[in-house]
Amino acid sequence: MAVKEGAKAEKKKVVVIGGGVGGSLVVKSLQFIAEVVLIDQKEYYEIPWAALRAMVEPSVAERSVIYHRDYFTHGQIVTSAAVDITESGVLTADGDLYSYDYLVIATGHDDPVPRDRGERLVHYEAEYDKIKSANSILIVGGGPTGVELAGELAVDFPEKKVTLVHRGSRLLEFISPKASKKTLDWLVSKKVEVILGQSVDLDTMSDGIYRTSGGETVRADCHFVCVGKPIGSSWLQQTFLKDSLDSQGRLMVDKHLRVKGRERAFAIGDITDIEEIKQGYAAHTHAEIAVKNLKLLMSGGRASKMSAYKPGPALAIVSLGRKEAVAQFPFMTAIGCFPGKIKSGDLFVGMTRKQLGLKPLSSKPKSPSTGK
Ligand SMILES: Cc1cc2nc3c(=O)[nH]c(=O)nc-3n(C[C@H](O)[C@H](O)[C@H](O)COP(=O)(O)OP(=O)(O)OC[C@H]3O[C@@H](n4cnc5c(N)ncnc54)[C@H](O)[C@@H]3O)c2cc1C
């Protein structure tokens, strides 16, 4: 059921809130067949799985932090946070109202990052300088972000003392205990000190000495907080969708990815209540299904013909430096160069850029010591 390109009068208005992994794919896919408005609090899309590499090699951010305008050439970009939604429009923090025929909510997780791309690149340079000038580094949090950062530091800066403190009883609790144990062994083999089952009170830090809840002290020149981010739905709590949030603040969706009970509002990505590991590849698949369903509805197709989303098998790869990784495949876990070959070299940056219709650009790593 094709929607005519260029038939401006017939075009429906689609407002997409959130230009992350899911939202960026939706706007790119619909830009020529609908009047699309992207509302994002920042002017760029950032490839999340390259963020830790960008801390040890800031030039990576030149490829992974992408202006929305570079891939979304035919629609309106609103750089402001959405603060309210009604049955027919979205209100932004700047006080503007955008009406819609269809809505896609893709606000993922709350992550307070700079609004401007230039500032984001400066931020990575500053993180890099902080790492370079420290002899000892504390990482708080042993989820994927803390573990990936520990891996990057252990491989690129083996002379630095890295300590990772994690509140949970094992690293990477979202994958199997076997994979957690392999990850712990890998980090220990790289001389990372891992303290499990304890938290750090950052407010009591003085003169580079941090105290843990178990009474231990950690000496570090700087620290990075890598704890899980809250779901990006607090702004929905006073809106007409407030009753569509579950007890964890996730938007409840039906099998077609429409917000339950709403005919014109879809939700995709990490914000949904779908029981699966929250991963970018799932957000991508949600985006593809939502696009398919929106195309059908916009061309007058019957809602009963919409495609359904079925969660796939559990799959996750956490990189451990530039060559190795730990992977959770459906029936097994693996660690080392085999999963590393899949992710850790280019961290899917070239592939993700290609999906957005952009040139992959060079992925030649720079030496952390010479920068060349
Ligand atoms: C370190 C790390 C490594 C990862 N590695 C992988 C991996 O290798 N493979 C994989 O598949 N997944 C990986 N993930 C998970 C993946 O990044 C997420 O599942 C994915 O980003 C979710 O996509 P999303 O579109 O739901 O939300 P996001 O990508 O989080 O995008 C949300 C967007 O919404 C915007 N936003 C938020 N609130 C508002 C508001 N009120 N108004 C306007 N805009 C708003 C934000 O600015 C952002 O642009 C990793 C995550 C991390 C942190």
Q: List the residue whose alpha carbon is closest to atom 8 of ligand 1.
A: 49
| 328 CA from centroid of ligand 1 (Å) | 20
Q: List the residue whose alpha carbon is closest to atom 31 of ligand 1.
A: 20
Total-model pTM: 0.92
Q: Which two tokens stand for residue 294?
A: 């929106």
Mean pLDDT within 102-131: 96
Decide: 25 in ligand 1 pocket, CB within 6 A: no
Q: Please give the DSSP secondary-structure letter assigned to residue 25.
A: H
Give tens-digit pLDDT for 258-300.
Answer: 999 999 999 999 999 999 989 999 999 999 999 999 999 999 9
- In this predicted structure, the answer to whether residue 362 has a pLDDT above a threshold of 80 is no
DSSP 117-160: HHHHHHHHHHHHHHHHH-SEEEEE--SHHHHHHHHHHHHH-TTS
**Mutation test of ligand 1: which of 25, 47, 104, 107 has the most ligand atoms closer than 8 Å to its C-beta?**
107
Alpha-carbon span 150 to 165, nearest angstrom: 11
Alpha helices per DSSP H over the chain = 21-30, 51-56, 60-64, 68-71, 117-133, 144-156, 177-189, 280-298, 337-343, 349-355
Task: Enumerate domains of the chain plus CATH numbers.
Answer: 8-41+80-111+229-305 (3.50.50.60), 117-228+315-355 (3.50.50.60)
Q: What's the mean per-residue pLDDT of the chain?
A: 93
Give tens-digit pLDDT for 126-145.
Answer: 999 999 999 999 999 999 99
Decide: 170 in ligand 1 pocket, CB within 6 A: no
pLDDT band at 370 (very low <50, low <70, confident <90, very high): very low
**Mutation test of ligand 1: which of 147, 268, 279 has the most ligand atoms closer than 8 Å to its C-beta?**
279
Tokens 């030039």 correspond to 59
pLDDT band at 7 (very low <50, low <70, confident <90, very high): very low
| 111 CA from centroid of ligand 1 (Å) | 9
Mean pLDDT within 242-258: 97
Alpha-carbon span 80 to 329, nearest angstrom: 38
Give tens-digit pLDDT for 220-230.
Answer: 999 999 998 89
